[in-house]
Amino acid sequence: MKALIRAFWPRRRAAGIQSLSPALWASIVDGASTCLMVANADGFILAVNPALRNMLASLETELRQQFPDFDAATLVGSSIDRFHHDPAARHLQLRQLTGRHLTDIRVGSARFGLAITPIAGADGTTSIYAVEWTDKTRWAQAADSELRLRTALDNMTAKLMLADADSTIVYVNDALKRMFQRNLEAMRNRFPDFDPEQLVGRSIDIFHRHPQHQREALRNTRTKISASLQIGPMRMELDAMPIRDGNGRYLGAFAIWDDIHAVHELVRRVGHGDLDGRLQPAHYEGSMQALAELLNTMMQAVHAPMTSAVGVATALARGELGSRLDEHAEGVFQQLHVALNTAAGNLAQMIRSIQVSSAAVLQTASEIAASSSELSSRTEAQAASLEESASAVKHLGVHLQQTNRALDAITAQAARINAESQSGQDMVTAVAHAIDTMARDNTQIANFVKQIDAIAFQTNLLALNAAVEAARAGVHGKGFAVVASEVRALAQHSAESAQQINRIVTASTQGVLHGQSLVADAAAKLRDITEAAGLIDHDLGILSADAGQQRQSLREVDVAIDTIDRFTQQNSAMAEQNAAAAEALHEAARELHTQTGRFHLQALPPSTAIRDTPLATL
């Protein structure tokens, strides 16, 4: 453009450059390939070459957004002031130009680069301005887009890192730098030379234990890869995504980092019932900061009613059943407050009922314990008495067995005596028969002796007669006298013998008679003895049968006593258990009443006052 002007400068300088017509100016600039415009010192356009006209025509839509009547074909003769918000300042600036000046202007959404060259006239003052136009709209749009993108990335609250295809960090936004800066100590404990301001140009591999695996994973995926880094107490979450061109070629990757350790810690504390935790919104930015504030607000909204509920529950735990919650809360908190108030009211009523009941139970338990203790003592005494009775019955059984054995022996002996007395009676009867026979024999012998005595008397008489006769016979009778004498002596002797025999027989007869009397008495006695022995044997049989029944009854009594003793022992054990249970019940009732006494209620009616009966010692 300068060359074109200089070509005409020598010829037109003397005549005055301002006197050039628009047609001449058009002929001067039309051949230029650059976009040219010529304006005079007053800012009126003298010429516009086709290149500029075509460029402006292509941008008419954008230009008309600010200048509705803009027409690229009618620019010549119009003022350049239309392109400036402050024409006076622009004129002043133009008059002060002494050389080529570069500037940019924005018209609507269009961007232009202007190279303004002042051209002096014959008097040395600037009278013409040659302006080269450059369409920077797309470049500016790209630059603006890049600037907007970079500004957005720099100012976005998401923590962003970009890496190229070689895993070299090419960009780290301010939010990520600030996060690293806040956790610099923990980061340097893990990465000693870590510097948030010197990350660009370093390899992203410093964050990975297995870099090659991470590289391959990013190169071979088209989806998000999520990972978690535990760096000291800090837990970092990151999502990495590959960046590809239109052909799918891997260009690099971007990763969005976030330190949500505090959120996890808050959730963990809430999970453990700690509602006092809060996030530090200053440590976060943007949506995370808003989320932190919302979480804190939510925690406060939860903390207040829960703290109130805990306060009431704590008061209930201390026994203060009069505490109540404000039921003007909303939603589930209102339900919680109403439920707690209802529970507290029900608990108070229940405790009151329990106190009344426990007083009655304690009184009853005392009475039961005393009765159980007395019952246990009586049962033990009964068991001891029953044990003595059982021992006595056992001794009685032993004695009865001995008596039965003795009775059996006596019965056997009585049977033998009965048999022997019967045999003796038979023998006495036989002896009586024998004595009777002897008596009859003695009578016969006495008769025989009488006959012998009579015969001896007759013989003696005959001998006497024979002697008389022999005496009378004399000598002839002498031998006969001798015989008569012998016969007389024999008769005399026979008479004496007969008398002796008679005496003996008489004595024997008297003895036999006495024996008969004795035998008769003995027979009578033996009959009495036999009858008595029979009666004794009969009575012993009855007694033996009774003794057998007594043995059976005693065995049954013994079994019954054993059963009663077993039951008594069981009853005694049960009585002891009941006494122990009554004692435990009494202590439980006492403890229950003591525990319920911890609750602060209105004074109970006098009828429910506890009368604690001392327990008997078990």
At 141 the pLDDT is: 75
Alpha helices (H) in 84-209, listed in sequence order: 87-95, 137-155, 174-182, 184-190
Q: Of 611, 593, 610, 608, whose CA–CA distance to 356 is shortest?
A: 608
Q: Of 16, 78, 17, 56, whose CA–CA distance to 4 is shortest?
A: 17
- Quickly state the pLDDT bin for 189 (edges 50, 70, 90): confident
Q: Evaluate whether 250 touches 165 at the Cβ level (below 8 Å).
A: yes
Last residue of a domain, one of 141, 176, 194: 141
CA quadruple 145, 150, 155, 161: dihedral positive or negative? positive
At 168 the pLDDT is: 92
Q: Of 494, 514, 507, 489, whose CA–CA distance to 446 is shortest?
A: 507
pLDDT at 13 over 80: no
Last residue of a domain, one of 80, 106, 141: 141
Tokens of 334: 């209102």
Q: Tell me which of 19-23, 151-155, 193-197, 349-353 is least confident.
A: 19-23
Residue 462 sits in the same domain as residue 486 = yes
Range of the domain at 420: 342-596
pLDDT at 519 over 80: no
Residue with tokens 């392109």: 83
Residue 40 sits in the same domain as residue 171 = no
E strand or H helix at 395, and its extent?
helix 331-473
* Structural domain contains residue 567: yes
The CATH number that applies at residue 413 is 1.10.287.950
Residue 248 sits in the same domain as residue 355 = no
Residue 377 sits in the same domain as residue 415 = yes
Residues 222, 224: Cα–Cα separation, whole Å? 7
Bridge partners (DSSP) listed for residue 109: none
Q: Tell me which of 20-24, 96-100, 528-532 is least confident.
A: 20-24
* Structural domain contains residue 324: no
Give the pLDDT confidence of 33-60 residue by residue, as tens digits. 788 888 888 888 888 888 888 888 888 8
* Structural domain contains residue 58: yes
C-alpha Rg value of the chain to the nearest Å: 80
Q: Of 435, 558, 400, 416, whose CA–CA distance to 508 is shortest?
A: 435
18 contacts: CB under 8 Å, gap ≥ 6 = 40, 121, 127, 128
Domain count for the chain, please give it: 3
Q: Evaluate whether 596 touches 351 at the Cβ level (below 8 Å).
A: yes
Mean pLDDT within 579-583? 77
At 285 the pLDDT is: 65
* Structural domain contains residue 302: no
Residues 259, 179: Cα–Cα separation, whole Å? 7
- Quickly state the pLDDT bin for 21 (edges 50, 70, 90): low
Q: Evaluate whether 319 touches 598 at the Cβ level (below 8 Å).
A: yes
Q: Of 67, 78, 72, whose CA–CA distance to 43 is shortest?
A: 78
Helix axes 22-29, 2-12, angle to 10 degrees: 140
Q: Determine the longest span between alpha carbons in the chain, in angstroms.
A: 278
The CATH number that applies at residue 223 is 3.30.450.20
- What is the number of residues in the chain? 618
* Structural domain contains residue 308: no
Residue 441 sits in the same domain as residue 366 = yes
At 612 the pLDDT is: 45
Last residue of a domain, one of 229, 259, 289: 259
Mean per-residue pLDDT of the chain: 76
Give the pLDDT confidence of 245-304 residue by residue, as tens digits. 888 888 888 888 877 777 777 777 777 777 777 777 776 666 677 777 787 887 777 777
Residues 50, 43: Cα–Cα separation, whole Å? 20
